[in-house]
Amino acid sequence: MKFELPALPYATDALEPVMSARTIEFHWGKHEAAYFNNLNGLIEGTPLADCTLEEIVRRSDGVLYNNAAQAWNHLFFFFQLSPKPKKKPTGPLAEAIDRDFGSFEAFKEVFAKAGATLFGSGWAWLSVEPSGKLTISQGSNAENPLRSGAVPLLTADVWEHAYYLDYQNRRPDYLSDLWKLVDWEVIEGRYEDTL
Ligand code: MN
């Protein structure tokens, strides 16, 4: 089975000015499309061709892992963004954030710091550990928390291709503006699936 790059649920210019149409055209239309193409080439004719993308991320290593995880991570990243997002979590997720980070504002600070201080390319993650505790982590390159048994809820892509056209070297500014696009309704849904 070939993996097909889905259409985004918003127009390429809908996330401006935080994420320009040009960034989305390259980031989704070129980078993410390349991860899909590489992935399809690598699994063709192998037993993995019948697996889900998540199964491949969990089971693979090396170049296949890099391409499968990048394909998965970008789907997860782009589908949590919206031009009209719910700006704050409510309900069980809001309670868990208060419990584990003190407050939503404190959580946002720690998460943005994880993204800003990751050296080189990678991802900042909010995940649920098997114990139920929420945790923030950094992943280099394609690294994804699924491998350590956690369930990802939210991610920030801090590869330069995610922000360089719009923010150049100002990664912390990109991260603080990214909150304008994160749809907490999506994140709440992901959290509720773990309860
Ligand atoms: Mn990316």
Cα(76) to centroid(ligand 1), Å: 11
Contact 67, 141 (CB under 8 A): no
What tokens were used for 159?
Answer: 């590869």
Cα(27) to centroid(ligand 1), Å: 6
What percent of the chain clears pLDDT 90, i.e. is strictly above it?
Answer: 97
Dist CA 108 CA 192 (whole Å): 20
Dist CA 70 CA 143 (whole Å): 8
Cα(132) to centroid(ligand 1), Å: 28
Q: Rounded mean pLDDT of 69-75?
A: 98
Read off φ and ψ for residue 89, nearest 5 degrees: -75, 150
Cα(165) to centroid(ligand 1), Å: 13
Query: What pLDDT is attached to residue 8?
Result: 98
Average pLDDT, the chain: 97
Q: Rounded mean pLDDT of 67-89?
A: 98
- Binned at pLDDT 50, 70 and 90, residue 1 comes out as low
Cα(157) to centroid(ligand 1), Å: 6
CA atoms within 13 A on the CB side of 58: 10
Cα(70) to centroid(ligand 1), Å: 7
Number of Cβ within 10 Å of residue 91's Cβ equals 11
pLDDT in tens, 154-170: 999 999 999 999 999 99
Cα(81) to centroid(ligand 1), Å: 14
Cα(116) to centroid(ligand 1), Å: 15
pLDDT in tens, 118-143: 999 999 999 999 999 999 999 999 99
Cα(94) to centroid(ligand 1), Å: 27
Cα(175) to centroid(ligand 1), Å: 14
Contact 130, 99 (CB under 8 A): no
Cα(110) to centroid(ligand 1), Å: 21
H helix runs in 60-90, sequence order: 62-78
Torsion angle, alpha carbons of 167, 170, 175, 179, to 10: -50
Cα(90) to centroid(ligand 1), Å: 28
Read off φ and ψ for residue 54, nearest 5 degrees: -60, -40
Query: What pLDDT is attached to residue 5?
Result: 96
Dist CA 194 CA 114 (whole Å): 23
Q: Starting at the edge strand that comes first in sequence, how are the strands of the sheet with 134-140 ordered?
A: 134-140, 122-128, 151-157
Dist CA 111 CA 156 (whole Å): 9
In the beta sheet, which residues pair with residue 136? 126
- pTM higher than 0.95, yes or no? yes
**Whole-number Cα distances in Å, 68 to 60, 109, 130, 151:** 8, 30, 23, 17
Cα(149) to centroid(ligand 1), Å: 23
Burial class (CB in 10 A: 0-12, 13-18, 19+), 62: exposed
Cα(95) to centroid(ligand 1), Å: 30
